[in-house]
Structures are given as C-alpha cells and as structure tokens.
Amino acid sequence: MSTKATVTPAIRQTKGGVQSVERAFGLLDCIANSSGSATLSHIAAEANLPLPTIHRLLNTLVNLGVVRQLPNRGYALGPGLVRLGNLAGQQLGAIARPYLRTLVQELGESANVATLDGDMVVYVDQVSSQRQMRMFTEVGRRTHMHDTGVGKAILAQLEPEQVRSIVTTAGMPTPTEYSIGTIEELEAELERIRERGYSIDEQEQELGVRCFAMSIPDAPAPLAISVSGPISRVDQAFADRAIPMLREAAEQISREMNGGA
C-alpha cells in the first residue's frame, strides 16, 4: 500500500522565505487555531517538526512575549501580540476609513469594517451616521460571526471545516427570533451569500436593525465592510443603492491594501 506525504497547514513553506520565520509563524497559527492555547503534544502533531526544533522556537517566542507558557506546560498566545494586533487593526481601519466616510455621505447610514479575531469578529473602525436615530458599534467590540452581516460575509469566504470549528467553539446564541441557531441553517445561508456576493443581517443581532455587508477580496486578513441602520430606512430601495457602493468600496480597499495592484 502506497503512502502519500502530507504537509500540515500549520507550517507551509513559501518560495524565497526564511524557514525559521515560517516555522515560528506556523506555531503561532497552530496555537491560534486551537482557540489561543495548545498542548505541546498537539503542537508537535500539527507542526510535523522535530521536537527539539519546536522547543527552540517556542522558547524564543516565549522570550519575545508573543507566546506564554501555561501552568499545565501548554502554550498560549502572549501579550506581545496584543499591541501588534491593536496597531494592525488601527492601520486596517485607517485604510478603510475614507471609503466608510464616502458610504456614510452617500447612503446616510453608519458604515463599519471588521476582521476575524479567533472565533469571533471584531470591529476595527466605524463612521457613524449623522442621523438622530443611527446605529453605533464600539470599535474593538467582539461578537459572534453567525448572526452579524460582517461575520457571515467573512465566514462565506472560509473553508467549511473552519466555519464548523469557529461556530462550534464560539457557540451559536440566538439573541433574536431571526437569529440562525444551527450549523445546517448557517451553511445554507453562507451558500446564498456566495451566490449573491453579499450578506444580510436581518434583525439577527438586534430587532429593528438591518445590515448589508461584503467581504474585502484578497485582503491580508479576513475583512468585511458593512452599512447598517433601522429597517424603516434600510429597505430594498436602500439595498439597490448600497450593494454596488459596497462592492466598489471593497474593491478599492483591496487595491490599496495590495499596493494598488
């Protein structure tokens, strides 16, 4: 019986890359994909590297503060990543902000940009509507992915196994009667999102609020932008105007993030 060598997704080598750096980031990915902490045996199984190499890399990462060792001898993401993550989020928000402003000016409703953060979605920037009754989301807020427009837009771009891992770990609470409560319902919704190219939060987070969202193609991290407002204003006529504007904004943000290519 023949055997076929496999390369684990945690450690992948890129053309012209520095092997030790790729391996170190692979270990960080492995820990991150295990909800932020992992045992040494799990890391060794996922990384497919010699144990002395794993020990050496982990010790270096611990000394740098980007990994910390747990009392049970496992490893977790360290506080050194928090500052880097915050700065990265701010920079992503800064790139998107001019386009969010344009959406608000043209559509009159609040606009957001959010990214994947472990098994949740985190809002990295918002430009609020100037209307008296408007939607406000605190920058830095983390929320579930299955019942938000931005979260579903991001999930629709991920592999089915990753989607199931995320919602299994985070859970699927149903804050309103419109919220999706099962993986089967979510998978059907994600297929609809892929077909039409955008997602809808149909009062799933908060009654009376509707949101249209779209993922940003070829972003360096999973990202999505959205516009949201009360259902009395965010209706089908609004969608007919908003969807092309969201698509254009997503494409422009993508080009800017990729150096204008």
Distance CA 138, CA 174 (A): 21
The H or E element spanning position 199 is: strand 199-202
The H or E element spanning position 224 is: strand 223-230
Residue 228: predicted pLDDT: 95
- Residue 234 · residue 246 · CB < 8 Å: no
> Which amino acid would we find at residue 51?
L
Distance CA 40, CA 249 (A): 43
Q: Is 15 exposed, middle or buried (0-12, 13-18, 19+ CB in 10 A)?
A: exposed
Closest by alpha carbon to 75, among 112, 38, 43, 44? Answer: 38
Closest by alpha carbon to 76, among 86, 64, 66? Answer: 66
Closest by alpha carbon to 5, among 48, 53, 41? Answer: 48
pLDDT in tens, the chain (261 residues): 333 333 334 444 545 558 888 899 889 888 877 766 889 988 998 888 999 999 999 999 999 999 999 988 889 988 887 777 667 666 777 888 999 999 999 999 999 999 988 789 989 899 998 887 767 677 878 899 999 999 999 999 999 998 998 999 899 999 999 999 999 999 999 999 999 999 999 999 999 999 999 999 998 888 999 999 999 999 999 999 999 999 999 999 999 888 765
Estimate the share of the chain in helix, then strand, then coil, as percent rounded to the nearest 5. 45, 15, 40
- Residue 99 · residue 216 · CB < 8 Å: no
Q: Write the CB contacts of 90 (distance below 8 Å, at least 6 apart in sequence).
A: 124
> Which amino acid would we find at residue 259?
G
Q: Is the dihedral of CA 127, 124, 96, 90 positive or negative?
A: positive
User: Residue 16: what are its φ and ψ, rounded to 5°?
Assistant: 80, 5
The H or E element spanning position 212 is: strand 209-215
- The whole-model pTM stands at 0.71
Characterize 91-115 residue by residue with b for buried, 16 or more Cβ atoms within 10 angstroms of its Cβ, and e for exposed.
ebbebbbebbebbbeebbbbbbbbb
- Give the DSSP per-residue string, 63-132: HHTSEEE-TTS-EEE-THHHHHHHHHHHHHHHHHHHHHHHHHHHH-SEEEEEEEETTEEEEEEEE--SSS
